[in-house]
Structure 1
Amino acid sequence: MSGNTDSETFNTDELVAPEWLNAQFITKVLIEHEQASELKVTDMRFSPASAKGDHYASIMFRAKVEYTTRKGASTKSLIIKTMPEQEGHKKEMLNESPIFKTETGMYSTVLPEFERILREAGDYDKLYVDCIYHSLKPRQVMIFEDLVEMGYLVIRDREVSLEEVRSVYSKLAKFHAASMKLQQEQPAILKGYTNGTFDKRKSLEQGFIRTGMTFFVELLEKEPELRKYKEYFENIKGDLVQQLMEEWAQRRQNPQPDPYNVLCHGDFHLRNMMFKHNKATGTFEDCMLLDYQMCNISPLTVDLIYSVYMLLEPQQRRDHWEDLLKYYFSVLVGTLKKVGYKGEMPTEAGLWKRFHQRKNFHFFLLSTFLPLMYAVREKGIDVVELLQNEEKRKTTSFIEGYVKDVKILLPRWEQYGYFKDA
């Protein structure tokens, strides 16, 4: 029932499906989904649902299922997402994590409400793929329709185009706008979504979080044109993560009204979205956002800053990031007006003020996450090994493309006054 796969291409914990993921379980799921008590599974094959580097905080399988009902024979491709069961770094880091509960709530309650808000305003954009089954006990499991069967693909072997990025920002803007409307109408629905990156203390104790700035400072020393920034980062490298944690904690403990607070996606990077193109013409048709397990109430600039480092291509970061964020903002305001939002309307000046206020978040992503993004672009990269192996991780801070990026970004942030308190 399990096909042969390549361990150099796929995550090792996704090569063999767990014993509980069997015909009996899938039969139960499909009976409930299709309301067909006579349904019988006749054949089933499992394979990994994603490649190395696509994701980390879960394990995913694709199930090709053949079955019969009174209507006759049918086939269905399902994506099954669950938590890691193999002992090791991934299971240890995610043990007792709330991310699965968060994502289940998103697909079962929040995202349908967002789409209701958009539909009532005449906007028929699709924000999420249908989840046909979810459970937190006895195992954390979610099952989705297979987007690949609908023509969507993850971008791995080429750069994302400006057209595709604009589409992604449009979906994000509508997601944010719907969350602002929902906070206004039914704030209780979003009350529990408070687990962002810097709320997860256990995750922030991981070695790759703590060493990113150390390697970054070594890079600044090595490159003559970057040495003038070394003293600034040398002074903050030991406190940066702690400061970010304290900022997040203060926001949770003493929340202040802010028209820029939204439900953020929380992990807005290229591998958490899929793109669809017309098979005949190759023209772009749609994108779909994925992985809503990090969603949390935060300033909307959290997603925007994250996207600059984790979504955009180097040339887009250099030449187009301001125009892209302005486009996002235009869709946000347009959607807020369309859905009848009655709160204080955000302004572009307010957006940029908050974008530049979060310089520590910029520095964290630039020093710690961006080099990893360069690394995972390499075919067959083992993310688990990269996160655990300090020497391999250190090499990512000296990748040629990453160094070029740093040489562009630091002077830009200097122009915006990020180093005035040096």
Structure 2
Amino acid sequence: MQAGTQESVIDATDETPEWLNAEYFEKVLQKVRDDTSLSVQQVEVKSAFPKGVNYASIIYRVRVVFRAKDQFNCTRSYIVKAMPEEGLAKQKLGEYNVHGKEMDIYQLVIPELKQLMRSIGDNSVLYPTTLTIDRTKNIMVFDDLSSKGYIMADRFAGLDLLHTKLTLKLMAKLHAGSLELTSMHPTIFKGYKTGMVTRETDAFYPLFYSNFDALTEEISTWDQEWHYYANKLRKLRPHFVEQGLKVYDHQSDDDLRVLSHSDLWVNNLLFKYDANGKPIDVVLLDFQFCCYSTPIVDLCYFIFTSTQDFLRQNCFDELVQYYYYNLANYVKKLKYTGKFPTLHEFQRQLLKKLFYAVFTSIVCLPVQINEDTTDADFDALLGSDERACRFRKTVMSNKKYHKIIKGLLPTFDRKGLLEKLE
């Protein structure tokens, strides 16, 4: 390629914005590297993920070849995250302001969280590094961590104990850091009210009810012994969303409140491995649904959607204790002086919010482990047409999900979680 020329290569299957090209990245990199002589030679834009992996945003992987004053034909890879520009996704996600909130988090909060961890000697990556937050184009540009060896784990297999403990430790860092931030800046999370389940908008309520109904209908086709649970669910239905909402409600000043990620599952995590394939680090992505709420949201959501079934069914108490001890350790290191619960007090808070294990197991888990991506998109998630109904039928007829939910329903029932809760 001749010096001074620019080339943009677009994946023909993507509806990529025309401005996402060599000229755009030249301006971004010149500013980031403080080098006006930097010249972009080539840009290659492709979709970052296959269908069915991501529903709430449009994500591109961009390979950029450039020349700078200190480098010749340098190649870097970046991630560009944008919002859907039309249709049901734009409408519903707009009611949550997911993109504006996430821009604020990466610009205003994550640098503070990273600095707090560095102050206690933790220099791990923790969260993606942003090159630019472009509010004019309504996009965020990140370093592509795959070039540094970070990859997604298998969402169908579930995370084993090593992956799970790494994630719980990262979760504890996020929550402990947010506690200290709140003591430093008491109003920093004032505007973060809308988690995935919220009273601020009913945009996702059709998804909550339709998945609940689809599961009830599916169970009704099973052997007679399972009809007991179908009847339980029918009685629970009028209260299902309200009980999910109560998890997010602030009910007592004694309850721990943190910056909850609220969408903490395997596809929002990137792991790095050693030469023997052992996970040694993890990075947390995607802050679209984060809110100031109970840490129980993240604990239940993560464990019940993303761990191996053995851990989900048998090790919940052990994993909660592991998270709590890490949280207490980081709170102590950060010299947080606010009220902090004992393990027993935290367990009592957990018991009040444990319904979220039921909620995520019914609404989120079956979608996340669905392997048939024929109809897997945002319109199918929230729609009511024939294609949406077909998608929900596919999701709920998954034999792997049947095995999981058959193990969980008796446990939930014994704990009284399939009853109307006061």
Tell me the TM-score normalised to structure 2 length: 0.89
Aligned-residue CA RMSD in angstroms?
Answer: 2.3
Deviation at residue 406 of structure 1 after TM alignment: 1.8
Please tell me whether residue 186 in structure 1 is matched to residue 185 in structure 2.
yes
CA contact (8 A) 2:48 2:61 kept: yes
Identity of aligned residues (%): 28
Classify 1:183/1:346 alpha carbon distance in 2 versus 1 (closer, same or farther; 3 Å). Answer: same
The letter of the residue matching 2:232 is Y
Corresponding residue of 1:275: 271
Deviations along 1:13-47, whole A, 9 cap, x unmatched?
Answer: xx242112122211111111011112111111111
Corresponding residue of 2:311: 316
CA contact (8 A) 2:46 2:60 kept: yes
Corresponding residue of 1:343: 338
Structure 1 residues without counterparts, runs of 5 or longer: 8-14
Corresponding residue of 1:12: none
CA contact (8 A) 1:208 1:390 kept: no
Please tell me whether residue 81 in structure 1 is matched to residue 81 in structure 2.
yes
Corresponding residue of 1:384: 378
Corresponding residue of 1:225: 225
What pairs up with 1:350-361 in 2 under 5 angstroms? Answer: 350-361=345-356
Deviation at residue 176 of structure 1 after TM alignment: 0.4
Corresponding residue of 2:325: 330
2:188 and 2:55 map into 1 onto residues whose CA distance is 27
CA contact (8 A) 2:44 2:64 kept: yes
Query: Partner of 2:121: helix, strand, or coil?
Result: coil
Corresponding residue of 1:374: 369
Deviations along 1:323-349, whole A, 9 cap, x unmatched?
Answer: 222111110011111111112222222
1:333 and 1:178 map into 2 onto residues whose CA distance is 11
Query: Partner of 1:65: helix, strand, or coil?
Result: strand
Corresponding residue of 1:154: 152
CA contact (8 A) 1:84 1:91 kept: yes
CA contact (8 A) 1:196 1:294 kept: yes
Corresponding residue of 1:264: 260
CA contact (8 A) 2:89 2:379 kept: no
Query: Partner of 1:326: helix, strand, or coil?
Result: helix
Query: Partner of 1:276: helix, strand, or coil?
Result: strand
Deviation at residue 421 of structure 1 after TM alignment: 5.5
1:386 and 1:139 map into 2 onto residues whose CA distance is 27
Classify 1:36/1:380 alpha carbon distance in 2 versus 1 (closer, same or farther; 3 Å). Answer: farther
The letter of the residue matching 1:75 is T
Deviation at residue 359 of structure 1 after TM alignment: 4.5
Of the three residues 260, 281, 291, the one matched with 1:286 is 281
Tell me the TM-score normalised to structure 1 length: 0.89
CA contact (8 A) 1:81 1:143 kept: yes
2:167 and 2:253 map into 1 onto residues whose CA distance is 27
The letter of the residue matching 2:376 is D
Classify 1:381/1:390 alpha carbon distance in 2 versus 1 (closer, same or farther; 3 Å). Answer: closer
Structure 2 residues without counterparts, runs of 5 or longer: 1-7
Corresponding residue of 1:203: 203
Query: Partner of 2:187: helix, strand, or coil?
Result: helix
Deviations along 1:35-91, whole A, 9 cap, x unmatched?
Answer: 111211111111111222322111011111111122232221111111112x33322
The size of the alignment, in residue pairs, is: 405
Corresponding residue of 2:4: none
1:124 and 1:49 map into 2 onto residues whose CA distance is 27
CA contact (8 A) 1:153 1:274 kept: yes
What pairs up with 1:216-255 in 2 under 5 angstroms? Answer: 216-223=215-222, 224-245=224-245, 248=248, 251=250
Corresponding residue of 1:18: 17
Query: Partner of 2:203: helix, strand, or coil?
Result: helix
1:208 and 1:276 map into 2 onto residues whose CA distance is 33
Corresponding residue of 2:173: 174
Query: Partner of 2:45: helix, strand, or coil?
Result: strand
